[in-house]
Amino acid sequence: MPDSTYKIIELVGTSDKSFEEAAKNAVKTAAKSLKDLRVAEITQLDLKLEEGKVTAFRARVKLSFKYHGE
């Protein structure tokens, strides 16, 4: 197996339904422009509140993908 290098980025996915959907939305969006996604790590969960009510679930996700360089 040849040596590989991976880049890590951090995204915040949102959903009005669940934390799980918020994380999936972050990965789905990243997959549209990044190739060779490898690992997703949820680093933080939080809620958006308006007038004392939950209006959105947010998941901060670190994504790694294979770096091909130039």
Give me the amino acid identity at 22. Answer: A
Q: 6-66: which CATH architecture? A: 2-Layer Sandwich (3.30)
**Residue 15's pLDDT is what?**
98
Query: What CA–CA distance (Å, rounded) separates 26 from 68?
Result: 22
One pLDDT digit (tens) per residue for the chain, 70 residues: 478 888 999 999 999 999 999 999 999 999 999 988 999 999 999 999 999 999 999 999 999 998 876 6
- 43: Cβ contacts below 8 Å, ≥ 6 apart: 10, 60, 61, 62
Question: What's this model's pTM, rounded to 2 decimal places?
Answer: 0.85
**Residue 67's pLDDT is what?**
83
